[in-house]
Structure formats: structure tokens, C-alpha cells
Structure 1
Amino acid sequence: MGAGRLPRSGARGHPELGRVLVDACHVEAGQDVLDVAAGSGNAAIPAALTGARVVASDLAPELLDAGRRTAEAAGVELDWRRGDAEALPFADRSFDVVMSCVGVMFAPHHEAAAAELVRVSRPGATIGLASWTPHGFIGRMFAVMKPYAAPPPPGAQPAPRWGDEGHVRDLLGGQVQSFAAEKRLLPVQFDAPEDFRDFFKRTYGPVIATYRRIADEPDEVAALDTALAGLARDAMDAQGRMDWEYLLVTARRTP
């Protein structure tokens, strides 16, 4: 899902999160791997570097194009495919590993997206997810933006629910085994609270969309500017570091 990704995330730690997910999934040479809502390949490219056969799927062509350029610079080949996380363009039981790094969480209909993760997994395949938690920094950021954002589509569920262990267990249900979940922290560095806010205004899809919606309301723009900078200020230490909480999930599809 392109709207939820950082096209220029290299400076802010997402590649590190992708590598964490690849390691947690024990991706290795010769495996067939799918990265769902892959964005520009923060997990897909590290997976391909192991020697696995990797498909990176996302709705946003501009993110896939950015990923192709990054992969080419890294000297690695993988298949970039446009696809909706709720209706993946792949056959049943196609992959040894199906993963998503803060990507599938932005699919509006969670049950549909989770069913697709399972459908394209082979029996015994690993399903791996890294998702921002509801009470972590990014979850709080969405709460701050909610009064200014467009109403969600009918039936949509909040993205940070993918960071709730119980919710993910319910989504995957009896279709998986060896379910493991762990909350972790991603250290992120910004020079100042306003640096965080302005970076996200330029690069992060949900923030861009929210500001676009209120562009003709200067008082609301100013209020959101203040709220986002305040959120970052409260979360930063004296050196400008923040710790963003995420949930790391791994499971195996039942045979």
C-alpha cells in the first residue's frame, strides 16, 4: 500500500527495520519470498541479497520505481509487481516466506489482507510482519492527525491495530502455528521536532494526504503543525533521538 510508506526512508531507519524482519523470517538462498505492500523495498532488497527469489508487490508505481533504482545500485535483482494487498495477483501457495514491513497494516480491510497473506503462503511457510503499535510514537501520530484527516472508507480499520498482538492473532486465526510476537523499539534521529514534522510533511503518505485536505484552512494547518512538532518534542531526548515501538510477528502457515 503506497500511501503508508516513506519513499525516502533511508535517512530514518526503515532499511534497518526491513533487515530485522528478514532476519526474523530466516530468509535464505533459494526460497521464494513475497514482500507485500513493499514500498521501495526496505525488506525486499535485504531479502534478495540473501540469494532468495524475491517479489516486491505494492500499489504505488512510484515506490516500485524507486525500489528498482535502489536495487540496481545495490547490484541485486528482484521482481517488482504492482498489486493490492487485499487482492494479491499471485496463485495460492506460491511462496516460502510472505512478509510485510509496516506496509500491509495500511490496507483498510484487515481481514481481507490477512486472508491474502495466508492464501499465497505454502504449507509450512513463514509469515512475518513488522507493524507500528497503537500506543507507540507512530500510533500516537495517527491519533494526533485524526481530527484533520479524511474519514476512512466504509469498513476500514485503523492501521495501528496490526501492532496489537491479539488483533493479529485473531486475523491469522487457526491458519497458522508457532505464532510469536515481540514489541521492539526502532531508534530514529532528527535534528529537531520541526525537522521531524517537515520531513514527514514532504515524504510520508498519510501526512501528505492530511495536509492536502486542510490546505485551504490556514488555522488548521497551523494547529496540526504545532501538534506534530509537540508530539515529537515530547518523544525526543536531548540528542533528538526517538524510539518508535513496533510489533514483530512471525508464524508458520499450518500444513
Structure 2
Amino acid sequence: MEERTQLLEERLQKADADFQLAYRENLDMSWIYHDSALEGVVYTFQELKTAIDPNAAITADSGMQPVCEEIRRHREALHFIRDYAVRRRLPITVDVVKKIYVTLHPEEGDVKTVRYRKDIPQHRLYFHEYAPPDKINYKVRQVIDWVNDPETRRTRTGVRVAARAHYDLLRVFPFQLDSGKVARLFMNLLLLRSGYPPSIVHSTERQRYYEALKGSSQTMTSIVQEAIENNLASVEKLLDGYESRNVRPTG
């Protein structure tokens, strides 16, 4: 899978600048769309396009402004994990998880002041068991220690490590808001750092995804792996079409 990912990246680099820009913009829109839809928030194409287009002007009294701000913060979080993933000397710490959260929710403070949730949410999408508030700090550290354990890295593939870290973190459910997004972004940071493409779980998998959180981590790993493979297949198809349109005749 790593070799397949590398080959696709090389093919992308050979494409023209307009194609690369459109590809990366569409990837971000798709990523934000599906990741938010898993949480029950469905954005329209127009909302996504307006938020991501640097030339789009949104008036202060526009009803789209709050939605566009949400989308832009989500995209900022994508930029953060990509940047962090390529800087391999930077450590994987609890502060990385907190940084993802405050990027999505700057109103919650910064990495040093942000707080974990203080109760068990009564109205929620996820119905697996949550960690009690007094155990959150310990359990988040437990996830990070496991990720950094040399034995973990020696005995498991990058996909298994990332999928399990996401599963464990989401079962802790550390934050009042968007713990699902944070856990998936953290998972994708680990995947990108290991040389994989992101695992974007499709919104049509929502029910299966929720059920996996109530079941075993192996089921979640399967969902994560399938999402990576689907991503690779769609990029291959896109590049095949682009390359066939741009083949120069010989002779």
C-alpha cells in the first residue's frame, strides 16, 4: 500500500498545476464533507466551495458565515496534520491531540488551557461506553504511550496502529465537542506520517462505523483499511482519465 501511495504521488507531481490544485481542493472538500456527515452535519457543495475558495467574499450578515467558518477551521486542521506528519522529528504527544481540537474550536482556548469534558453528554450520536470524566486524562495519555511504544511499532502495521489509536481515543471521548473529528484527524496524522494516504470514512458507512465503536477494534481496522483502498482506487481512476486525455501522439 505504501508503494502504491508513493507511485500515485509521483504521478500527481507530473500533472499540470491546474489539475493538482483542483485535485487537492476536491480532496479537501470530500474529506470535510464525509468527516462532518459522520457527525450528522451535512454541508452543501456551495457551502464547501465558498468556504474553500480564497477569492469568495462572504458578507458579515450572510447566513453562510458560521458554516464557512466551521469548514475553514476543519481545513486548517487538515493543514495542521499534514504539516505535522511530514516533520517526522516532532513527537506524538497529548498536546498534538489538544492542538487538533483547539484548531477546530479556537474558542475553547489553547493547548495549555483547554479542558476535557466534565460530564457524560446526554444527547449524543455515539452510543458506545464513554470514559468517566475523572479517567480521561489518564486514558488519553495511555493511548499516546501505546502509540509511542517501540513494541507497538514493531508488531503492527501503520494502518493497525492508526486505526487502533483512533478507536481507543474515540472510546475515551475526551472533548465535549467533535471528539469524533479529533480522533479521525489524529488517526490520519499517524497514517500520513507512516506513508499512507488518509482514511476518509464515507458517510454511507456511518451506521457500520458507529457499530464498530461498540464492537471490536478489528472491525474498525477493516473500515479504516477499506477507506484507504477506496481513496487510492478513486485517485488512480482520476489520474488514468487525466493521463489518457493528455497523451501526446508520437511520430
Q: So what's the TM-score if we normalise by structure 1?
A: 0.28
Give the structure with the higher percent strand. 1
Give the structure with the higher percent helix. 2
Q: So what's the TM-score if we normalise by structure 2?
A: 0.28
